[in-house]
Structure 1
Amino acid sequence: MFTILTHLKNRYLSQKAQGIVEYALILAFVVVLAVVLTSDGGLGDAIKGVFGNAATKVNEGANAGK
């Protein structure tokens, strides 16, 4: 009986720890991505430029139809 309880306890605790590690890795990835995107120059400016160009084209197309 105690071996079954010990086995279940160990299995539950190891899965819980694995979940915590996975969430920590995801959080670290999101933080690194946010830092890269908000830093001056580089990838953040390139992405902003792409979205800015797309917005300009959409506005030009909307104004051309009037």
Structure 2
Amino acid sequence: MTKLISIARAFRDEESGAAMVEYSILIGIIAAASILIIIGIGVWVTGQFTGLCTALNGHGATGNTACAAAAA
């Protein structure tokens, strides 16, 4: 009977599963933040290129086929 109680106490005091859950949540938060940062950078870069193409098209850059293709 005492062996069963000691096994139950050892099972109750085991915290490796809780640590694994905490690390999984931390990895999930880091992954979500990384994805949001990458999307934000992509939106910023797209805006910069759009502004550049607009500025080039507005100043008589007629041979600018890359901006014309992106605008279509």
Bin for the TM-score computed over the shorter chain: 0.5 to 0.7
User: More relative contact order in 1 or in 2 (CA 8 Å, sep 6+)?
Assistant: 2
Identity of aligned residues (%): 7
Regions of 4+ moved over 6 Å: none
Q: Give 1:35's aligned amino acid.
A: G
Tell me how far apart the structure 2 counterparts of residues 11 and 38 of structure 1 sit (CA, whole Å). Answer: 40
Q: TM-score, normalised by structure 1?
A: 0.62
Tell me how far apart the structure 1 counterparts of residues 46 and 27 of structure 2 sit (CA, whole Å). Answer: 29
Deviation, structure 1 residue 29: 0.3
User: What is the CA RMSD across the aligned residues, in angstroms?
Assistant: 1.2
Structure 1: runs of 5 or more not aligned: 52-66
Question: Considering only CA atoms, is the larger Rg found in Structure 1 or Structure 2?
Answer: 2
Deviation, structure 1 residue 31: 0.4
Do residues 17 (structure 1) and 17 (structure 2) align? no
Deviation, structure 1 residue 12: 0.7
User: How many residues end up aligned between the 2 structures?
Assistant: 46
Q: TM-score, normalised by structure 2?
A: 0.58
Tell me how far apart the structure 1 counterparts of residues 27 and 46 of structure 2 sit (CA, whole Å). Answer: 29
